[in-house]
Amino acid sequence: MGRVTTLVEGGRIVTATDDYVADILIEGGRIRAIGDLAGTEADEIIDASGHVVFPGGIDPHTHLDTPVAGTVISDDFDTGTRAAAVGGTTTIIDFAIQEKGADPRSSLMRWHEMAEGKAAVDYAFHQIITHLPDSLLPSLDGLVTEGVTSFKLFMAYPNVWMLDDGAIFKAMRRTAENGGFIMLHCENGYAIDALVKESLARGDSDPIFHARTRPSLAEDEATRRGIALAEMAGVPLYIVHMSSAGSARAMAEARERGVRAYAETCPHYLLLTDDRLAEPGFRGAQYVCSPPLRPADHHEPLWNGLAAGDLQAVGTDHAPFFFEQRLVGKDDFTKIPNGLPGIEWRVGLLYHYGVAQGRFSLNRFVEITSTNAAKLFGLHPRKGEIAPGSDADLVVFDPAGSTELSLATQVTNCDYNPYEGMVLQGAISAVLLRGRAIVRDGRYVASRPVGSFVRSAESAALSSSTLVS
Ligand code: URP
Ligand code: ZN
Ligand code: ZN
């Protein structure tokens, strides 16, 4: 039997740079031709007339099946990637965590084992480095060779995940030589720890004090310090889950003077406020994440940063837990496992609040939900693109439809939906992963998981300061 062919007919194709109506011929999982292909024979025809066809979303920040604070994130590579698929995301980049004292490459093996044969969408990995004596610096080179080219370092959580500035600087210098790319969690861990101790000593132990002890200035300071370290090391930098107006301002200033700094924010920092942490009955615990949710006046600066190119990507930092898992922190907010779900709703929320509400164009929407992540994490043009030769990872989107977000219908494995009751403009009609329709009419339809590991090449940030904006 020859290679399976699919024709996606008559859709409005939108990429980061283009917007036109055409047919897409897919063969063997890749895009073979784009144009007026009427009459071309194919094994399957998908009618996309009246629909927008854009590259499958790339979520550059997920945590699946991960041990955290004595429990495990409630979505594994099965449920979490099915949730991604129905939400229009065809590639995730998940974080492998280095076990303290171990070589990061052995920890990475665990993530390969957890994902293999289970994932509904394609996946790549970042490696979290929690411990970096000089003897482990060569391991970073080894990771690059294995197709894991981005390393997340923490400026927060002293004695748990934090690296000191010296280790961060050394890791940065190493990536200048080995083609890797540093990602930073920017919060001042020592200042936060002091505030936390004071808070607990006063008896202020409810979830809201998680937010009060992690002020936005603690993030702004670390963001500026991280940018300065990267400038000193002469390397590009990616800042994860940016939540504050001051950090967005720091990004604008850094990029203005030509620093290769890139940043991601998350839907919850654009749409939810710290009031959620004060919800009664300990429900506020469901909104504990770090950095914390901020007051509403941080939202518009982040949206503006995305529109203006000061921030380049939106990831979810997907880290769901059941209410019961949070109860361990009933008398002490520091014990509540951190994180929010989001993998399923990112693309829809960004379309509704970004495009439909006039904050940015459809092209920019594609750039920040897909193409920029592909470029920054060495997956482009295989991913994040609609062009001959690219993987046929496509979303067929009905802009006239609508989607209600609700616990009752979600695929995400947890017992609440932070966006409960929101009705979004637009609906996902179909999602193709390497040419196979894995979602139809908004429902996951694949009979078996077909996602596979994608090796990351060098980040585009290493070769050009203008390629990603
Ligand atoms: O609260 C969060 N962000 N949990 C996930 C871990 C991290 O820092 O990304
Ligand atoms: Zn983080
Ligand atoms: Zn995270």
Task: Output the CA 253–ligand 2 centroid distance in Å.
Answer: 23
289, 293, 321, 334: which to mutate for ligand 1, most atoms within 8 A of CB?
Answer: 289
Percent of the chain with pLDDT over 70: 99
pLDDT at 468: 78
- Assess whether pLDDT exceeds 80 at residue 396: yes
Q: Is the pLDDT of residue 469 over 90?
A: no
Q: Is residue 140 part of a domain?
A: yes
The answer to pTM > 0.85 is yes
Query: Ligand 3 centroid to 318 CA: how many Å?
Result: 7
What is the CB-side half-sphere exposure of residue 202 using CA atoms within 13 A? 10
Range of the domain at 254: 56-381
Under a CB-based contact definition with an 8 Å cutoff, are residues 301 and 245 in contact? yes
- Provide the pLDDT confidence category of residue 432 given band limits of 50, 70 and 90: very high
Which residues have CB under 6 Å of ligand 1? 63, 185, 241, 289-290, 317, 319, 338-339
For residue 458, give the nearest of 262, 181, 233, 259 by alpha carbon: 181
Residue 463 confidence (pLDDT): 84
The tokens 């190493």 sit on which residue?
Answer: 174
Residue 466: is its pLDDT beyond 70? no
Question: Is the per-residue pLDDT at 449 higher than 90?
Answer: yes
- Tell how far the Cα of 392 is from the centroid of ligand 1, in angstroms: 31
From 243, 290, 334, give the residue whose CB has the most ligand 1 atoms within 8 Å, as the site to mutate.
290
What is the pLDDT at residue 301?
98
Mutate-to-test residue for ligand 1 from 63, 183, 265, highest number of ligand atoms within 8 A of CB: 63
Mean pLDDT over 251-268 rounds to: 97
Residue 186 domain flag: yes
- The yes-or-no verdict on residue 32 having pLDDT over 80 is yes
Residue-wise pLDDT for 294-327, tens only, equals 999 999 999 999 999 999 999 999 999 999 999 9
Which ligand ends up closest to the CA of 316?
3
Q: What average pLDDT does this structure show over 138-155?
A: 98
Taking a C-beta distance cutoff of 8 angstroms, is the pair 349, 419 a contact? yes
Q: At a CB cut-off of 8 Å and minimum separation 6, what does 148 contact?
A: 96, 108, 124, 125, 126, 127, 456
Give the C-alpha separation, 429 to 52, whole Å. Answer: 10
253 three-class SS: helix
CA of 247 to the centre of ligand 2 (A): 15
Q: Which atom of ligand 1 is nearest to the CA of 63?
A: 5
What is the mean pLDDT of the segment spanning 167-187? 97
| pLDDT (0 to 100) of residue 339 | 98
User: DSSP states of 106-165 as a string?
Assistant: HHHHHHHHHHTTT-SSEEEEEEE-S---GGGHHHHHHHHHTT--EEEEESSSTTTTB--H
State percent of the chain over pLDDT 90. Answer: 98
Q: Which atom of ligand 1 is nearest to the CA of 161?
A: 8
Q: Is the pLDDT of residue 467 over 70?
A: no
Contacts of 210 (CB under 8 A, 6+ apart): 277, 288, 290, 292, 333, 334, 336
Q: How far is the CA of 141 from the centre of ligand 1 (A)?
A: 25
What is the Cβ-side half-sphere exposure of residue 350, based on CA atoms within 13 angstroms? 34
Number of domains in the chain: 1
The answer to whether residue 74 scores a pLDDT higher than 60 is yes
Q: Which atom of ligand 1 is nearest to 95's Cα?
A: 9
Residue 340 C-alpha from the chain's centroid: 12
Please write the tens of the pLDDT for every residue from 86-145: 999 999 999 999 998 899 999 999 999 999 999 999 999 999 999 999 999 999 999 999
DSSP states of 282-302: TGGGGG--SSPP--GGGHHHH
**What does the pLDDT look like over 319-353, one tens digit per residue?**
999 999 999 999 999 999 999 999 999 999 999 99
Q: Residue 2 — very low, low, confident or very high, per pLDDT cuts 50/70/90?
A: confident
Q: Is the pLDDT at 428 greater than 90, yes or no?
A: yes
Q: Whose CA is nearest to atom 3 of ligand 1?
A: 290
Does the residue 328 lie in any domain?
Answer: yes
For residue 323, the model assigns a pLDDT of: 98
**Confidence band, pLDDT 50/70/90 cuts, at residue 465:** low
Predicted local distance difference test score (pLDDT) of residue 409 = 98
Q: 73 alpha carbon to ligand 1 midpoint, in Å?
A: 11
Q: Are 104 and 90 in contact (CB under 8 A)?
A: no
- C-alpha distance across the termini of the chain, in Å: 44
Interval between CA 433 and ligand 1 midpoint (Å) = 28
Please indicate, yes or no, if residue 466 is contained in any of the structural domains.
Answer: no
Atom of ligand 1 nearest to the CA of 61: 9
Q: How far is the CA of 432 from the centre of ligand 1 (A)?
A: 29
Q: Which atom of ligand 1 is nearest to the CA of 152?
A: 9
- 98, 161, 333, 338: residue to mutate for ligand 1 pocket, most atoms within 8 A of CB: 338
DSSP one-letter code for 355? I
Name the helix (H) or strand (E) containing 250: helix 245-256
CA atoms of 307 and 284, how far apart (whole Å):
31
Tokens 């197709």 found at: 147
Q: What mean pLDDT is predicted for residues 46-72?
A: 98
Predicted pLDDT of residue 277? 98
The closest of 90, 185, 101 to 135, measured between CA atoms, is: 101
Supply the pLDDT for residue 1: 55
| For residues 37-50, average pLDDT | 97
Which CATH number does the domain housing residue 235 bear? 3.20.20.140
pLDDT at 215 over 70: yes
CA of 418 to the centre of ligand 2 (A): 19
- Of 63, 85, 60, the residue nearest 428 (C-alpha): 85
Nearest-CA residue for atom 8 of ligand 1: 290
Which residue's alpha carbon is at the smallest distance from atom 4 of ligand 1? 339
